[in-house]
Amino acid sequence: MQVNKIDNQIFQSHQITSKEMRILQTALKNNKVFLYDVDTTHGFMDQLILKRNDGITDGFPVIGADKIIPALLKIKEIFLNKLPKLETVDAHKFSDPEIKFFKFVSDIHSEKGTLGAEKIPETVFETPKYLIEVEPEKDDVPTVFEIQNAIANKEIIRVEKNEIDVLKYGNGNTGKVEENKKGIQLFENLKRAGAEIALVYGVAEEYCVKAAVAACKRFGIIPIVIEDAVKDAGEQALKNSNDLVYNDVATITTNIIEKQLAT
């Protein structure tokens, strides 16, 4: 095992081995691979905190995230209409616990229905086939059969969330972070639908990307991180927990993907 470095953040992982590459190539042929696009929205990718007309400060810029846009665009060019895609977007309200926790950054980020919650153009493939909204009372998680069809037809499933972890839900009424039953159901259905490998990318490496990797591992889906398409938020204090999650996770680059996987 070696130490991989992505900008300022270091985590324990390893570059994809020849054996893992063969497994990935086989899974691709058997339609068992999906893209996992984590939070590539204006709220995180744009490099400025906006001051709205109402005086509210809006945004949570991951500094330097704009530098991974060429890699994000390359992923789109390679895999558009060739792989199914799971994508997460934050969809916040002012009462969300996460918003209160990160109040030192801005008043809000990625408020549902605003530009901050929308994906940047470089990561927009097409209109999602399924939208799982953040509200827990909405019955909108696709079934195993629907996910099987989405995989076969290279379609998109978009998940709104209001916590770092898609498997968690921030209850604005109680102020507590709870289990997100919809997120759990989604991953259970993904696994039962035959998904085996997730190509994970996005922001931020030590927050939502790490949670995405952990969610895949929890449900028996192999995460492979596209290392030049992730960006950290510079939180060195989280290094130990990063190492625990990323331990034994393979990484790959868009150049390797282009040379060995693109068809």
* SS3 per-residue string spanning the chain: CEEEEECCEEEEEEECCHHHHHHHHHHHHCCCEEEEEECCEHHHHCCCCEECCCCCEECCCCCCHHHHHHHHHHHHHHHCCCCCEEEEEECECCCCHHHHHCCCCCCECCECCCHHHCECHHHCCCCCCEEECCCCCCCCCCCHHHHHHHHHCCCEEEEEECCCCCCEEECCCCCCEEECHHHHHHHHHHHHCCCCEEEEEEECHHHHHHHHHHHHHHCCCEEEEEEEEEECCCCHHHHHHHHHHHCCCEEECHHHHHHHCCC
pLDDT of 223 reads 97
Task: Calculate mean pLDDT across residues 190-207.
Answer: 97
Instruction: Say if strands 168-170 and 177-179 run parallel, antiparallel, or are unpaired.
Output: antiparallel
Q: What is the pLDDT of residues 108-124, one digit of tens each?
A: 999 999 999 999 999 99
How does residue 222 score in pLDDT terms, banded at 50, 70 and 90?
Answer: very high
Task: Calculate mean pLDDT across residues 191-197.
Answer: 98
Please name the amino acid found at residue 32.
K
Task: Calculate mean pLDDT across residues 164-189.
Answer: 98
Task: Calculate mean pLDDT across residues 76-89.
Answer: 97
pLDDT of 234 reads 83
Q: What is the pLDDT of residues 235-254, one digit of tens each?
A: 765 656 677 788 889 999 99
pLDDT at 202 over 60: yes
Task: Calculate mean pLDDT across residues 215-223.
Answer: 97
What does the angle CA 199 – CA 203 – CA 209 come to, to the nearest 5 degrees?
55
Share of the chain above pLDDT 90, in %: 87
pLDDT of 245 reads 81
pTM, full prediction? 0.94
Domain boundaries, the chain: 2-260
pLDDT at 6 over 60: no
Angle, to 10 degrees, between the axis of helix 144-152 and the axis of helix 181-192?
60
How does residue 19 score in pLDDT terms, banded at 50, 70 and 90?
Answer: very high
pLDDT at 4 over 90: no
CATH class of 2-260: alpha beta
pLDDT of 241 reads 64
pLDDT at 36 over 80: yes
pLDDT at 10 over 70: no
